[in-house]
Chain A
Amino acid sequence: MQPEQNLIERARNGDEEAVTLLYETHVDSIFAYVRYRVPSDMIAEDITSEVFLRMVRSVTSYRDQGVPFRAWLFRIAANLITDHYRQHGKNPTVAIHESYESDDPNPFDHVMQEDEHHHLRLAIQSLPAEYQDLLVLRFVEDMPHTEIARIMNKSAMALRAMQYRALKALEEALRGGRS
């Protein structure tokens, strides 16, 4: 039995340590994906929290019915993001310097970097949802097309075609954001 499957089995049997290990394994990826998709850290934290709450509520009955565990978590996150936008609509207002601290030794560099990251996130968030998913899962989380296909319910071939279009769209969005 693979290590993660062993953890899932232990979690299913009420092992708290196993649940914690599953959390630590996936929380960074889930948060990064969600944060790229929503306009603020606070919203991303809320959604990330909800992902793992749903994980523990369902882990006792989870079965790998063709959807691997990580893909299952990402799919939950994708659905929660969709729910969020259904309820709240698109809100482009973003606090730029959320992580800025007054005693930062290199405040200017930090602000410049945050500004670039902010533009990149805005550009990403201006794209169609499926482009956002594909770009973040493929290039930030290094997922293979086969796994992304499970999350997005598309064929790997369609994702390859979409990837080309998504990168073009990102290029356009970045040019438009800086003009």
Chain B
Amino acid sequence: MSDEQFSPEEQNFIRQLREARPQIDPAARNAIREHMIAEFRYVTATPPAPRPRLRLAPVLAAAAALAIVIFVIGQVVRPPTPLTEIPTPQTQIAIVPSDTIQPTYTAEPLSITPTVPLPSQTSTPVPATAMIPTTPAPSEMPIVPTTTQQITIVVEGPVSAINENVLIVYDLHVEVAPGHPILSLLEVGDFVRVEGEYPTGDAVVARIVSNLDDVTVVDGETATVNLEGPVESIDNNQIVVNGITVQLDADDPILDSLQVDDFVSVKGNFENDGTMIVLVVVNVTVINDVEVIEADCWYHADAMGMGHWHCDGMGMGMGMGGMGMGRQ
């Protein structure tokens, strides 16, 4: 904090904050410690429950078997009637850690309820002279449809590793479209929220990746991405920040005063405009009341040849152009 400058009034507020630092009551301190130790003894004495892992194949097989059984029973009890369309069940599994950070995750129970309508209760009138077969001919056996499952997964947590376009979040592999601009923003340790599909059980294929943990809503629009950095270029209502093309509303008043090298904070959503993926702005602000100290900012180039500006509170003692230093 020694490199920061504060006005006398600000220094007074800071002094008051420090003087008013709350102190825990000694009795409470001891009681909390004892409670914690008791819990620790219980936790270490009790073997941890095996981490629930999604096993989709057995559940799908059981669901399909149940569907077949129900259908066959229906065929035996009632005359066959034309099958109606079976809706595709939509199932959402949320793997969301509790509000507090825990390195483990809890999968909610998988709930798949295939719907197979039973044959109609009304019997088909039969002419008196028609021959009524006792069993349907094999060629007339209706084909049991297979249900297709779409399972949406929501994952929230810290990125523990990034391997090209694959993020590791709580031991889950999350695939992002190769070359997606979000990959240039994310670093190990960032918190992300991912929505995607789990088609084969090997990796989550991300539809949405958000690096915002607070919901940002402006005029009814929700932002999922946070981007900060200097404006590198301006082309009508598109600007480039940290190598990412950002699209503002054509009549956004900020365009009147925005200049290259202005530091901006952008919240928005990635969208494909037909030719490329751009960050469509929900909210953008220019950060003018901060003195950028060159020694605290450097250009971080990653292995893919892309890069972005990174500013740190710790003075690196180097000018701009430090390559590949990363973040400590």
Contacts and interface: CB of A to CB of B under 8 A. Distances in A.
A109 to B, nearest CB: 13
B158 A157 contact: no
A76 interface: yes
Which of B24, B287, B314 is the most central at the interface, judged by chain A CB atoms within 10 Å of its CB? B24
Q: B interface, how many residues as a size bin? A: 35 or more
A41 B25 contact: yes
Contacts of A158: 228, 265, 287
B32 A157 contact: no
A49 B32 CA distance: 5
Interface string B20-52: 111111001101110111011101100010000
Given A31-B22, A63-B103, A117-B20, A45 B28 contact: yes
Nearest to B213: A153
B104 A61 contact: yes
Given A66-B160, A156-B311, A150 B189 contact: yes
B24 A31 contact: yes
Contacts of A142: 1
A90 interface: no
B9 interface: yes
Interface string A158-179: 1111001101001100100000
A156 B17 contact: no
Which of A83, A139, A154, A164 is the most central at the interface, judged by chain B CB atoms within 10 Å of its CB? A139
Interface in A1-56: 14, 16, 19-20, 23-24, 27-28, 31-32, 35-36, 41, 44-45, 48-49, 52-56
Contacts of B9: 171
B313 A60 contact: no
A107 interface: no
A96 interface: no
A70 B308 CA distance: 28
Interface in B69-126: 99-104
B17 A157 contact: no
Given A65-B189, A153-B213, A116 B20 contact: yes
Given A35-B22, A56-B43, A49 B36 contact: yes
Main DSSP-derived SS at the A contact region: helix
Interface string B185-200: 0011111000000000
A140 B17 contact: yes
B273 interface: no
B297 to A, nearest CB: 8
Nearest to A76: B100
A58 B36 CA distance: 12
A27 B101 contact: no
A61 B48 CA distance: 10
Contact of A53 (B14, B35, B187, B265): B35
Nearest to B33: A23
Contact of B100 (A54, A154, A157, A159): A54
Contacts of B270: none
A58 B1 CA distance: 32
